[in-house]
Amino acid sequence: MTVAGMRCLVTGASGFLGHRIVRLLLEEEEGLDEICLMDKTLSADLLRTREEFQGKASVKLLRGDIRDEEFLQQCCRGVDLVIHTAAIIDTVGKINKETLMAINVTGTERLLEACVRNNVRYFIYTSSVEVVGPNTRGDPITDGHEEQLYDSNLSFSYGQSKRLAEQKVLKANGRALKDGGTLVTCSLRPMYIYGEGSQFLELHLDQAILNGGVFLRQSRKEALVNPVYVGNVAWAHVQAARAMRDPDKAQEIGGNFYYISDDTPHLSYSDFNHVLGQELGLGVESRPALPYPLLYYVALLLEVLSFLAKPFVRFVPPFTRHLVVLLNTHFTFSYRKARKDLGYEPRYGWEEARRLTTAWIAEALPRRREQLNKSKRF
């Protein structure tokens, strides 16, 4: 199966993942009728991609806000497939909860309504492993799967917003469309996504530069996670879109979520950063600055200070209890179900993913050093 002859809408098309999905669709899908690229801002990289593939498929640019109902109605007219990646990602509480919920949850609701009104048949939602946890106790998971029960008592707004949005997407599966058809939905839950252009990798790189070329030790060695390469997450979306076109597969896939990982080694977050940067001479601290229990209570103190200061000044803690738990909990998942139902197989092996990411870090290093030096001078 392919998506040939379909009109596809990608939300968040300028984003780290959205842009990779757009590129893969244009590279791999012969006969794609049209691809609509929606985002609040359209990046220079996205515009270059449009020019690069000019003539292969019709590419339509749609600039607007996911919360704008009229805009969403326009975006969904004549569309067969929606790949919804647009979201605010916030790991430390910089964005207020109202804004997070309005964009991640209400925006998704309004997009689903626009799909129903405009007879969009297929809807793929980009979720996150954070919709399941880790929970506030830091209960570990090893080789997790979709049928596994876990006490996901989420305390952080980002994970809550993604879980609520995912629930609305899965509940919408089977909704009647205006033309008598039905909506088929599914959700993909990628692990921590790395690769060229990752803002999180840039943040860690800046910290390493300021720390004399050594990555900070923010996670315990034994807290293993399984990051996933951005190209493989994008490929999983393409594979899901293809599978959904098969009526029998659509029955199996509809209303379900899938964990998306690949063959990246299981390492702690800090050790993973080191693996990506070690051939460039970047090291990693041997131990955290503070023992885990003490770090957790420092985060609690910072959160209390933030709450007390709220009437007078906005203070965003540099880290939270949620982030401390996230970085220090063993949390790994399998992609077996995605392989079985979606036909997903990683497109990029670990060595290629590492090489591409390390090459991007090597290119970014001089630029980041220069920018940090400039900021010091001012």
Report the catalytic residues. 158
| Environment class of 2 (CB within 10 Å of its CB; exposed 0-12, middle 13-18, buried 19+) | middle
Q: Report helix, strand or coil for 129.
A: helix
d(CA 104, CA 125): 11
The Cα–Cα gap between 6 and 278 comes to: 44
- Helix (H), strand (E) at residue 293: helix 292-309
Q: Cα-atom radius of gyration of the chain, to the nearest Å?
A: 21
Which residues have C-beta within 8 Å of that of residue 309, sequence separation ≥ 6?
315
H or E stretch covering 158:
helix 157-171
- What is d(CA 81, CA 16) in angstroms, rounded to the nearest whole number? 20
* The two three-digit tokens of residue 252, written as one number: 């199996």
Assess contact for 274 and 205: CB atoms under 8 A: no
Straight-line distance from the first to the last Cα atom of the chain, in angstroms, rounded to the nearest whole number: 56
* Residue 29 backbone phi and psi in degrees, to 5: -100, 95
Q: Kindly state the tokens that stand for 15.
A: 């984003």
Amino acid identity for residue 26 in this structure: L
Written as six digits, the tokens of 314 are 């906005």
3-state secondary structure of 51: helix
Pairing of the two strands 184-190 and 7-11: unpaired
Interatomic CA distance for residues 148 and 84, integer angstroms: 25
Tell me which residue of 44, 57, 124 sits closest to 86, measured CA to CA.
124
